[in-house]
Structure 1
Amino acid sequence: MASRMFSRGVTSLVLLSSLASPSFAGGLERGGYNIDQLFDTSPFSFQSGVTYVTPQRKLKDVRDTNTSILTGGGNLSSRPDTADDTSNYTIPYIGFKAGFGDAVDCLVDYSEPFGAHTSPGLNWAGANDNIETEIKTRNYGGTCSYRFDVGPGQLRFIGGAFYQEVEGFKERLVSTLPLLLGTGTGVGRLDIDDSGWGWRAGLAYEIPEYAMRASLVYNSRVKYDDLSGTVDLRQVPVVPLYGGLVTPVSGSAEAPDSLELKLQSGIAPDWLAFGSVKWTNWSVLQSVAFCPTNGLPCPAGGLTSLDLLYRDGWTISGGIGHKFNEQWAGAVSLTWDRGTSQGYGAQTDSWTLGLGAAYTPTEHIEWRFAGAVGVLTSGSSGAVTRNGVTYGDDVSYSFDDDLVAALSTSIKIKF
């Protein structure tokens, strides 16, 4: 039988493992939503952490498939047919949990659940598709739970809300004609931002004596109904009607809803098994069109668009944790992410191995550190047709299996 001290010491490694193994394949997934701190057994706890991720996606066999000098950047076939697509990034987290009596726990937290940053640059054959794209989110959440005795354990009802901000930009080579005429660089830029609200609800059942917990949590969509910004074509004066101007634009999109099942249980003294299955509704993001808001006509498909064409994501993870002594514990996990790209884009399946440790010098302080290494599987990208519309016809490319690595550290203060 696992002791209560085992439950307090080792079960926290489930959170550590998830921080060490961020999702590398699913849509715009970064840190995702994580409320594991809500289950901390201390009356109060403060936690702060950061994960640093280094994906190494490299594109090859790049071919310019839209050589129009006005809208396709011109013929870029003489440029390099390889590119480093991805950029390193960090995932911060801050949370404060408080318990009220024997039944109510609440958590307020800051996280960055979604994001993306690709930066292949200007000097490659696909610059007409992408020079640099970055999307960031900031999430401010509040979640509470109410628990009561049921059978040998406790049933917990979970509910909460979160406010989410999004901002981003994309640059691409619209035309090479301004370079030839000496009137600009030919690069166009889209800037956007918006904010919205979401909510979560769930259930959990716990038997502390066995370090057993099962939780099921749903996170709602976040609607960005006023995703607005500008399209800057001052460096592309040759584009009819919009060239040489900064045009205000707007569109709409949704951050996906998700459903996650997490399981853990003591399997022997000082040993814990854990696992999770998560579905994320990335298929809500297909093509996000942006139309002018200043009275100018909107071309078919928008003045510009963010074409994603995602399918739903699935993440399955499992692992083992072990408490070595009163100060040290460790965990190992394996995670599979189903890629969300469907012939367009470079988000294929990934496999990730995570290793983590926790050091508890006193009963009030816990320091966690972890690492992960994974494989981004191979594939290709090119033109695809959805509902009679062709996307991805600017450039085609392929990619081999690539490596990804991550380092994570956090500190928790309990009182």
Structure 2
Amino acid sequence: MNISFTRLAITTAVLAAMTATSAHAGGLERGGYNIDLLFDPSAYALEATTTYVNPQRDLKNARDTNPANGLGSNGLGGGSTSVRDTDSYWVPRVGIKAALGDSGIDCMADYSQPFGADLDPGRNWIGANDNTKTKIETDNYAVTCSYKWAMGPGKIRVIAGGFYQEVEGYKERLVAPNFYGTGNGIGRLDLKDNGWGGRVGLAYEIPEYAFLTSLVYNSEVKFDDIEGTIDLTEVTVPGPLGPAVPITFGKYAVTGEASVPQSLEYKIQTGIAPDWLAFGSIKWTDWSVLQSVGFCPATASPLTPCTSLDLLYRDGLTVTAGVGHKFNDQWSGALSLTWDRGTSTVINTQSDTWTLGTGVAYKPVENVEFRLAGAVGILTSGSSRSTTVNGVPFGDDVSYDYGNDVVTAVSTSLKVRF
């Protein structure tokens, strides 16, 4: 048996399964950071992956907290009490890895979209004053290197790297009812910024036993100067003289600050029998750093108010376990189970998630590999209610319940070694 090839063949199927299951996790995570390509034993490798995720979170029993304020979808506290909250999305990743001769140094560069959000309940539900559409995207550009040397029966590897991250997004919600026919009452917040982060880690591998374990820390990315605008040009309210002389609003600049959280991830895999591999991982993510993110103009006023993105997250914890098997010299497969602890506390819909993932790897020739993976998961039930934190009310626009919903994902990738 060629042990090195067995490890490589099964590991690629394992990576396929884990890619699909990690594409919808707690907080704003869409797969997070991934440096598995760095451990590829070939001198050079190029990999491209894309994952389609379809979370089917449905809100039900929605209740307008204050129907008298005229902020339901019809301006009278009305609207549907059930709605599909989530939208599907794609998660791309491209990376290249190179070994620097016989120095023991490996480096990889990659592009990914590790975090994001895509909510689209629309304007015809009773909670339109809370959210009609939210979209957040991140673009991450990273370089990671490692240095390895012999220690005992295997090799130890020290890992370090950095990444540049851009964030951009918007949120729309019903700010005022459209009683006057001069606007739809929708206000929109746009935002963007960029920041830097870094990572360090340690790994140990024994190729003879298909053993690999790693511990990697990713720093937070601070967005200290988020620039954006609040657009209230579609908002009209009665003036001091009544509806005949309404007050109109405009578009103005706002600033804010937030952070993408730090994380710590431990992974392990090992051969357990000829052509069989067991693997697992546990990851902590500091999502509690995101509570309420405020956005204000230089001078707030009744015509230029502040706004906020209210999350009230707690820390995330993700645990994965699975097995992989080599069927022959061309085909291998893997099966995994992932539990992700929900990051929502009293408001929002980020509950616990259980995901079953499977992946296959096909190697038609020595240096080319195709991977296909799928995942199906359960988004567990819960509710969103109004609460008060340090004297500040949150979630007081609408309350709702949600049941056990389904999330599915499909991932494909191509790797070329040379």
TM-based fold match above 0.5 = yes
Written as runs of structure 1 = structure 2, the 5 A alignment for 1:30-109 is 30-67=30-67, 69=69, 76-102=76-102, 103-109=104-110
CA distance in 1, matches of 2:405, 2:72: 29
TM-score, normalised to structure 2, is 0.95
* Counterpart contact for 2:144–2:161, Cα < 8 Å: yes
Written as runs of structure 1 = structure 2, the 5 A alignment for 1:187-226 is 187-226=186-225
1:37 Cα offset (Å): 0.3
Question: Per the alignment, do residues 45 and 305 of structure 1 end up closer, same or farther by CA in structure 2, a change over 3 Å counting?
Answer: same
TM-score, normalised to structure 1, is 0.95
Written as runs of structure 1 = structure 2, the 5 A alignment for 1:163-174 is 163-174=164-175
SS in 1 for 2:236: coil
Match of 1:354 among 350, 354, 357: 357
CA deviations 1:24-48 (Å, max 9, x no partner) are 3410000200000000001000000
CA distance in 1, matches of 2:295, 2:170: 13
Written as runs of structure 1 = structure 2, the 5 A alignment for 1:356-395 is 356-395=359-398
Which moves more between the two structures, 103-112 or 378-387?
378-387
1:343 Cα offset (Å): 1.5
| Equivalent pairs, count | 411
* Counterpart contact for 2:73–2:123, Cα < 8 Å: no
1:8 Cα offset (Å): 1.9
Structure-1 residue corresponding to 2:258: 253
CA distance in 2, matches of 1:305, 1:111: 27
* Mapped pair 1:284 → 2:289: yes
Percent same amino acid among aligned pairs? 57
SS in 2 for 1:352: strand
Please, which runs of 5 or more residues in structure 2 have no aligned partner? 240-245
Structure-2 residue corresponding to 1:344: 347
Structure-2 residue corresponding to 1:273: 278
Structure-2 residue corresponding to 1:305: 308
Structure-1 residue corresponding to 2:242: none
Question: Per the alignment, do residues 117 and 239 of structure 1 end up closer, same or farther by CA in structure 2, a change over 3 Å counting?
Answer: farther
1:78 Cα offset (Å): 2.8
* Counterpart contact for 1:264–1:273, Cα < 8 Å: yes
1:75 Cα offset (Å): 5.7
* Counterpart contact for 1:66–1:74, Cα < 8 Å: no
Question: Per the alignment, do residues 25 and 40 of structure 1 end up closer, same or farther by CA in structure 2, a change over 3 Å counting?
Answer: closer
RMSD across aligned C-alpha pairs, in angstroms? 1.9
CA deviations 1:173-226 (Å, max 9, x no partner) are 0110xx212221111000000000000000000000000011000000000011
CA distance in 2, matches of 1:355, 1:263: 18
SS in 1 for 2:27: coil
SS in 1 for 2:95: strand
1:171 Cα offset (Å): 0.3
* Counterpart contact for 1:73–1:175, Cα < 8 Å: no
1:206 counterpart letter in structure 2? E
* Counterpart contact for 1:67–1:73, Cα < 8 Å: no
* Counterpart contact for 1:67–1:74, Cα < 8 Å: no
1:171 counterpart letter in structure 2? E
CA distance in 1, matches of 2:356, 2:192: 35
* Counterpart contact for 2:72–2:127, Cα < 8 Å: no
Structure-2 residue corresponding to 1:323: 326
* Counterpart contact for 1:2–1:209, Cα < 8 Å: no
